Structure 1
Amino acid sequence: MIRSRETPSVVAAILDWPPTALMARLALVSAYLLGAVVKATDFPGAVAEQAHFGMSPPAFWAVLTIAVEIVGPLLILTRRWLWLGAGMLGAFTLLAAIKANAFWAMPTGHDRFMAMNAFVEHIGLIGGFALVALLDRRERAA
């Protein structure tokens, strides 16, 4: 049992290792980058997805989604206007969660439970975007 308030040396070494921050940011945005690649390589599928969720016109929303899923991660990964990338992906994630995982409008059961879990997971991602922007701001201010 660790009694000290100090970070264990092995954990500190990992956290202080320069590539760790980049790898953490990459992990945070990886699903969005993958989503952009999948949508860009199957644009008719991306349009169909937008139509499925009632977005009109679906081609416009497919292009906008691809753009957000490319630009947001690049801003976070490069730390150039990281706050903007985090805000873009946070807002996008919230809107997508509300549109795709409206568990409150579903009858009780397995599907509602799964939608609620997905919604809460998306809220966790939004928290991750807020934290990455906060940590970047603090590091730049120090």
Structure 2
Amino acid sequence: MAGTSDTPRPIAAVLDWRWLWPAARLALVSAYLIGGVQKLMDFPRAIAEQAHFGLQPAALWAVAAIAVELIGSVLVVVDRFVWFGAGALGVLTLVAMLAANDFWHMSGHDRFMALNAFFEHLGLIAGLVLVSIISWRKRRA
């Protein structure tokens, strides 16, 4: 029947809250914002992080990571060119998860931890895809 919902009224009220959509976008990219600022404030450590994961030239990868984390996050937060910002963050996340969570080369507890982190990052990429879809549909409507 049209007009009915299986969503309880209190939940629907929360989902209708006007600040939920911006708060969710901010929460989704919060780790990238923090990471980008930390890398920017301690650039030598950012270079060392990239080198640790075998990404060379490390300084170039560090600059790219900072730019993507900060610019991509801002685009998602301000709800403009979300497809671009979220897409860039998704690609960065894919590179990071392949470099840092290579569970297929591990065993024991290290494999367990890397496998979990790998799929957590995959879920984050899915969240970035979803925020892009929602933003695009809202603009189309």
TM-score computed with the length of structure 2 as normaliser? 0.94
CA distance in structure 2 between the aligned counterparts of 1:130 and 1:122, rounded to whole angstroms? 12
Cα RMSD over matched residues? 1.1
Instruction: State the match for 1:22 in structure 2.
Output: 22
Instruction: State the match for 1:89 in structure 2.
Output: 89
1:18-64: CA deviation from partner (whole Å, max 9, x where unpaired): 11000000110000000011111111100111111111111111111
CA distance in structure 2 between the aligned counterparts of 1:50 and 1:87, rounded to whole angstroms? 21
Aligned length: 138
CA distance in structure 1 between the aligned counterparts of 2:21 and 2:97, rounded to whole angstroms? 27
Identity %: 57
One-letter amino acid of the counterpart of residue 110, structure 1: H
The 3-state SS of whatever aligns with 2:19 is: helix
Gapped regions of structure 2 (runs ≥ 5)? none
> Which runs of at least 4 in structure 1 moved beyond 2 Å after TM superposition?
none
1:76 shift after superposition: 0.5
Instruction: State the match for 2:138 in structure 1.
Output: 139
Instruction: State the match for 1:74 in structure 2.
Output: 74
Instruction: State the match for 2:112 in structure 1.
Output: 113
Instruction: State the match for 1:42 in structure 2.
Output: 42
Instruction: State the match for 1:130 in structure 2.
Output: 129
Instruction: State the match for 2:61 in structure 1.
Output: 61
CA distance in structure 2 between the aligned counterparts of 1:79 and 1:53, rounded to whole angstroms? 32
1:5 shift after superposition: 4.2
1:78-99: CA deviation from partner (whole Å, max 9, x where unpaired): 1110111110111111111001
CA distance in structure 2 between the aligned counterparts of 1:136 and 1:117, rounded to whole angstroms? 29
CA distance in structure 1 between the aligned counterparts of 2:140 and 2:40, rounded to whole angstroms? 37
- Please give the residue correspondences for 1:98-109 in structure 2 after superposition, counting only pairs within 5 Å: 98-106=98-106, 108-109=107-108
Instruction: State the match for 2:13 in structure 1.
Output: 13
